[in-house]
Structure 1
Amino acid sequence: MLKARVITAVVLLAVFLPVMLFAPVAAFGALLAFALVLAAWEWARLLGLPGLAPVAYAVVAALALAASTRLGLGAHAARPLLEAAAVFWILAGPFVLVRRPTLAHGPWRLFLVVAGLVVLVACWHALVAARILGVSFVLSVMLVVWLADIGAYFAGKAFGKHKLAPAISPGKTWEGAIGGWLAVMIATIAVMASHMLAPTLVSALGERMGPVRMLLVLTVLVAFSIVGDLFESMLKRQAGVKDSSALLPGHGGVLDRIDALLPVLPLAMLLIG
């Protein structure tokens, strides 16, 4: 398992990092579109769509993305998609985690079939918009999620006693969540102290709303990274699977890697205007 995990990580970094750092935005968008189609297939499988329906759903997701780009959805025109995704995560995300309805049957499944297309396509547009602002910017948005996850893991291992959502993800603790938040706050203060010239999420939020409100907004983004993670965990738990798929040996599926990014990206891009 460890060997497969390491090999997969090396391959992903070898493909993703050069495209993100050096390739044109169009190539970056194409790679993201491929990942989006795979994530759509996994989303449909977690909702229990039968037979070839997950493949058809992935095709529909690809067509929806193509339509949104061919209709000329630039940074401003894509805003309604980002707003729709943000509304989903702000309203439906916490509601689902608190009430824990059955997601793969009845009205909820129909709702999530539609919402999944919006959430995934909006994530694509948010990532491409972030990349247009610069490599440092898109990396800074991703680092908020990565640092929150890494900080939560180590803080949870060291101090975790109080379960965050035992019925959904028994391994997560309040101490881990606080540790992830602290990791993001420490990194943010370090970026502010360094006076980086390259555009980052921290600099964009700081210029727009000042340091105090910026830290509050980053706290909200950390909270919604947890919401995204728990939401996918609930989908998997109800589907009776450990991972969204086995597409990434040792790492699960594409959704397992981007679950926390799904709410953070549209919210971050909306907050910087």
Structure 2
Amino acid sequence: MLKARLLTAIVLLLIFVPVTLFAPLGVFGALIGFVVVFAAWEWARLLKFGGNFAIGYALLTAVLVLLGARALPLDTPGLYRAAALFWVLAVPFAFVRRPTLAAGGWRAFLLLAGIVLFNACWHALVTARAHGVPFVLSLLLLVWLADIGAYFAGRRFGRRKLAVTISPGKTWEGAIGGWLLAIVVALLAIVAHPFDPAAPTFYELLAAQRGIAVALLTLTVLVIFSVLGDLFESLLKRQAGVKDSSALLPGHGGVLDRIDALLPVLPIAMLFVH
């Protein structure tokens, strides 16, 4: 398992790092489109659609992402707001009421919502890359640091369960540790690095537009939504009776397992700096 995990990680890095750092924006957009199509396939499977339907849903998502890329402006606040409403309203409701997500009206709603979420994710990430490599990397780093910090803080200090019936391994101490790591790194980036309007990081642009205090509060909100994204996918998997969203990435699970925290953070982050 460890060997498969390492090999998969190496392959992914060899693909994504050069494309993110050096490829033209169109090539980067094509790669992200490839990712969200597989995520859409997994989304349909978690809603207990299999076989041809899941494939058809993924292909429909691909077509709509392509049409959206051609018809909509790259930075699309209306699309980001639609995605944000899902994370602000529908997801907390699902946590509280615990409906059966893969049945009835919720199933149909989540199929439609998925198309919006994946389109918003694509537009937000490609727009972030258009702001520059430092911008997109710093935005991704916010989510990665929150996840890494939560893992190590949870292992060392974790006592109180965050959502025991959804994801028993997550703790409040882990979530706070992840938030602290992300905030400290962002604050260091804001204070230590001169603001370059030609190639800002996400943190620097946020601080330049809104001030450091509001920037840190905004980053806190984004970390909270990264946790919500992770927990919502965990709820989907728990109701579907699976451990991973798929086995597409040996040793890592599925594509959704890798981007679940990014799905809410990306469009909401772009709303804050629009």
TM-score by length of 2: 0.97
The match for 2:32 is 32
The match for 2:7 is 7
RMSD: 0.9
The match for 1:265 is 266
Gaps of 5+ in 2: none
Q: Give runs of aligned pairs for residues 6-85 of structure 1, distance below 5 A.
A: 6-75=6-75, 78-85=76-83
The number of residues matched between the two structures is 271
Q: Give runs of aligned pairs for residues 66-145 of structure 1, distance below 5 A.
A: 66-75=66-75, 78-145=76-143
Q: Is the CA contact (8 Å cut-off) linking 2:74 and 2:126 kept in structure 1?
A: no
Per the TM alignment, residue 104 of structure 1 is displaced from its structure 2 partner at its CA by 0.2
2:226 maps to amino acid: S
2:272 maps to amino acid: L
2-structure distance, mates of 1:187, 1:96? 32
Per the TM alignment, residue 193 of structure 1 is displaced from its structure 2 partner at its CA by 2.3
The superposition leaves residues 105-156 of structure 1 with CA deviations (integer Å, 9 ceiling, x where unpaired) of 0010000000000001100000000000000000011011000000000000
Per the TM alignment, residue 250 of structure 1 is displaced from its structure 2 partner at its CA by 0.3
Q: Is the CA contact (8 Å cut-off) linking 2:128 and 2:136 kept in structure 1?
A: yes
The match for 2:209 is 208
Matched position secondary structure for 1:52: helix
Matched position secondary structure for 2:49: coil
Deviates more, 1:22-31 or 1:47-56: 47-56
1-structure distance, mates of 2:45, 2:122? 20
1:210 maps to amino acid: G
Per the TM alignment, residue 69 of structure 1 is displaced from its structure 2 partner at its CA by 1.5
Per the TM alignment, residue 30 of structure 1 is displaced from its structure 2 partner at its CA by 0.3
Aligned mate of 2:160, from 159, 162, 166:
162
Per the TM alignment, residue 74 of structure 1 is displaced from its structure 2 partner at its CA by 2.5
1:220 matched to 2:218: no
Deviates more, 1:65-74 or 1:12-21: 65-74
Matched position secondary structure for 2:162: strand
Q: Is the CA contact (8 Å cut-off) linking 2:86 and 2:113 kept in structure 1?
A: yes
Matched position secondary structure for 2:169: strand
Per the TM alignment, residue 98 of structure 1 is displaced from its structure 2 partner at its CA by 2.2
The match for 1:233 is 234
2:182 maps to amino acid: V
Per the TM alignment, residue 192 of structure 1 is displaced from its structure 2 partner at its CA by 1.9
CA distance 1:72–1:224, shift in 2 (3 Å): closer
The superposition leaves residues 55-76 of structure 1 with CA deviations (integer Å, 9 ceiling, x where unpaired) of 000011011111112214322x
1-structure distance, mates of 2:98, 2:91? 10
2-structure distance, mates of 1:97, 1:213? 28
2-structure distance, mates of 1:199, 1:135? 9
2-structure distance, mates of 1:51, 1:16? 29
Gaps of 5+ in 1: none
Percent identity of the aligned residues? 61
2-structure distance, mates of 1:41, 1:193? 42
TM-score by length of 1: 0.97
Per the TM alignment, residue 51 of structure 1 is displaced from its structure 2 partner at its CA by 3.2
2-structure distance, mates of 1:74, 1:183? 31
Deviant stretches of 4+, over 4 Å: none
1:235 maps to amino acid: L
